[in-house]
Amino acid sequence: MRSDSDPLAERFWFSAEGRRLAGTLFPPFLLGRRWFSGKARGLEEVWVADAFLLGPREAGLRLLLLQVRFAAGETALFSLPIRLAGNLPPTGLVEGDRIGPLSASSPQCLWEATGDPLFGGALLDLLAEEKELLGPQGILRGRRGPLLDELDASGELPKDSRLLGREQSNSSLLFGNHLFFKLYRKIEGGPNPDAEIHERLSGVLRFPHVPRYGGRLDYEPQNGPPILLGLLTEAVPHRSDAWTLALAAATEWMQQAGEHRPEEPSSRPSWELLGRRTAEFHLAMAGPPDDPAFRPEPLRGEEIPLFFEGALGLLRRSFGMPDGPPEVPLGVEEERLAKLFPRIEARFRAILRLPANLLKIRIHGDYHLGQVLATEDDFVLIDFEGEPERSLAERRHKTLALRDVAGMVRSFHYAALAPIFLQGDTGEERSRRLAVADDWRRRETRRFLEGYFAAAGGAPFLPTAPAERGTLLDFFVLEKAVYEVGYERNNRPAWMQIPLRGIEELLEGSRQSEENGQS
């Protein structure tokens, strides 16, 4: 086959035929992916920035780096493993993995290959052997960490891979029972907090409530800093993630309330323990000052207005209103957002009154119930990537620990509302269920906060006065809900109602401060 018509040839994707194929097949495919963050941005163009042949040529596997351009001109890079095969899904893949045929008459088809065991095998081989692959525009490099060394030494290196749930911002593979690999979808150059924090917590700090570090896959473009493409960690045996646990508890509470006076379901492990583990995580992050990337820093007075400006910028981006609320909103949804905009801005101003007598530390950055695994009697924290809608540099900034606490507070709100919003309840039934859900949310949030403040008590990253603590936590809870509106618009538009309702509730009164001002 001529190299300009063979999708496995080194330079195919840079030929006129390759560019045409990328422009035709990838945009509709990307728009249908849960992990494609950019659905509300107007996808203009897609092309291949680099391509690597994985495993033997006959396997037909390639790892593509796709450059995407949006309507406003900004670009983003995404990873996409592909496999060239026939018209039926290859082993491990499903119909939904079909990207499309090479041409209307071709018997050959491109498939999204993340779930393909051959892809998993090639990936683990890259890491375990610390291989270096050359592509037309850069290098793909695998590296192994202590856990991989140990498994290799004891002859326990797993061979088989299994794709985990597809309802994620990234994609994850499980290797045997021991190793967990996360393939990042939206990728960016520079140090990545997920790898950085896993390495530090499980290495120098020996923090027991995170998975151990196992290795990494990096892309080194000819021009620009290395980009983390994937991270290998310990696979933690767990009952479920805390999101599933919370959803089940909230649903049970609502069902019982329909029949008789609800009995308190007992969550195992308890949300109070989750609060404690969260505090211990923050105390570890505020720990030894050996590494400048992690050394705590005092918050300076002039930084307080920056929190306000940052939140305002986020509000503009999340609501898709770069110049503030439009005078004549275009539709019902825009009108709702435009009305909320000035009220949110006014609430954000409360932070300007706070004194700056705290320490800033590195935090989780995108802390919610889905970022915690529940074992039989404890919790393990995962996914230190930070909020995927923010730049990598921003996600590595030291900031106030209450931002994480606020993330979890929002998550209890999501868990309470998701069963109602996603089932489309209406009328009286809906109002009744909302009231019961609110009951559950308030009680469990309080438990989480009690656990947190009891363990983190007088830590120098927390305000000592309960009123200041309440104001700061309220600020971050509202900021997180604003972030979520943007995240849902771009990723899961049907879920946007949840943070919007959260914002409306927060703006309604002082209720939140009462809950948040734990002493």
Ligand X SMILES: O=P(O)(O)O[C@H]1O[C@H](CO)[C@@H](O[C@H]2O[C@H](CO)[C@@H](O)[C@H](O)[C@H]2O)[C@H](O)[C@H]1O
Ligand Y SMILES: Nc1ncnc2c1ncn2[C@@H]1O[C@H](COP(=O)(O)OP(=O)(O)O)[C@@H](O)[C@H]1O
* Interatomic CA distance for residues 410 and 169, integer angstroms: 18
User: How many helices, marked H, and strands, marked E, lie in the chain?
Assistant: 14, 18
In sequence order, the β-bridge partners of residue 53 are: 62
Find the helix packing angle between 466-491 and 332-348, rounded to 10°.
160
**Is 243 near ligand X (CB under 6 A)?**
yes
Of the candidate residues 383, 387, 389, 474, the single one contacting ligand Y (CB under 6 A): 383
Strand order in the sheet with 372-374: 240-241, 372-374, 379-381
Binder of residue 235, out of ligand Y, ligand X, none (CB less than 5 to 8 A by kind): ligand Y
Q: Which span (219-227, 276-284, 364-372, 441-449) binds ligand X, by CB under 6 A?
A: 364-372
Compute the radius of gyration of the chain from its Cα atoms: 24
Q: How far is the CB of 33 from ligand Y (least distance, A)?
A: 12
Residue type, 82: I
DSSP 266: P
Q: Which span (164-172, 287-295, 397-405, 431-439) binds ligand Y, by CB under 6 A?
A: 164-172
Residues in the chain: 519
**Is 388 near ligand X (CB under 6 A)?**
yes
**Is 199 near ligand Y (CB under 6 A)?**
no
Binder of residue 411, out of ligand X, ligand Y, none (CB less than 5 to 8 A by kind): ligand X
Residues 6 or more apart whose CB falls under 8 angstroms from that of 419 comprise: 247, 250, 251, 254, 433, 437
Of the candidate residues 50, 116, 241, 383, the single one contacting ligand X (CB under 6 A): 383
- Rank residues 133 and 174 by Cβ distance to ligand Y and give the closer one: 174
Binder of residue 182, out of ligand X, ligand Y, none (CB less than 5 to 8 A by kind): ligand Y
**Is 419 near ligand X (CB under 6 A)?**
no
Residue among 218, 230, 21 nearest 135 (CA): 218
> SS3 for 16?
helix
Residues 303 and 356 sit within 8 Å (Cβ to Cβ): yes
**Is 164 near ligand Y (CB under 6 A)?**
yes
Q: Tokens for 413?
A: 């709100």
Of the candidate residues 371, 445, 471, 512, the single one contacting ligand Y (CB under 6 A): 371
**Is 116 near ligand X (CB under 6 A)?**
no
Q: Which span (327-335, 385-393, 395-403, 423-431) binds ligand X, by CB under 6 A?
A: 385-393
* Interatomic CA distance for residues 220 and 226, integer angstroms: 4
Kindly write down the DSSP assignment for every residue of 147-198, as one continuous string: HHHHHHHTT-----EEE--S-SSSEEEEETTTEEEEE-SEE-BS--HHHHHH
- Rank residues 364 and 403 by Cβ distance to ligand Y and give the closer one: 364
Question: Which x/- pattern, by CB under 6 A, does the window 327-366 give for ligand Y?
Answer: ----------------------------------------
**Is 251 near ligand X (CB under 6 A)?**
no
Binder of residue 410, out of ligand Y, ligand X, none (CB less than 5 to 8 A by kind): ligand X
Report the interface residues with ligand X, using CB under 6 A. 169, 243, 366, 368-370, 383, 385, 387-388, 410-411, 414, 484, 487
Report the interface residues with ligand Y, using CB under 6 A. 164, 168-170, 172, 180, 182, 211, 233-236, 241, 370-371, 382-383, 385
